[in-house]
Amino acid sequence: MEEVKIKSDTINLDQFLKWANIVMSGGEAKHLIQAGEVEVNGEIELKRGKTLKAGDIVKLTAEDKKYKVSRG
């Protein structure tokens, strides 16, 4: 599991995907989320504005890699 440090207490899901270099653009993040290809804490998340906080786990359904949100 890769730990991704954020600078604030929370971050939106689409912003997190860009910050962690999982996607290259907001459009790509939007597409993955709306296609149901992103899980947050084991559940498919369809809202790109979903607020993430330290301890949340993000996973792309097409990959085995997980990303843990941490405050840094």
pLDDT at 72 over 90: no
| pTM for this model (two decimals) | 0.94
pLDDT in tens, 9-33: 999 999 999 999 999 999 999 999 9
Please tell me the distance from the alpha carbon of residue 52 to that of residue 40, in angstroms, as a whole number: 9
Q: Averaged over 65-70, what is the pLDDT?
A: 96
Alpha helices in 1-72 (DSSP H): 13-19, 26-34
Q: Averaged over 35-44, what is the pLDDT?
A: 98
CATH class (in words) of the domain with range 2-71? alpha beta
pLDDT at 64 over 90: no
Chain position carrying tokens 């997190």:
16
What are the residue boundaries of the structural domains of the chain, listed by start?
2-71
pLDDT tier for residue 35 given thresholds of 50, 70 and 90: very high
Please tell me the distance from the alpha carbon of residue 62 to that of residue 72, in angstroms, as a whole number: 27
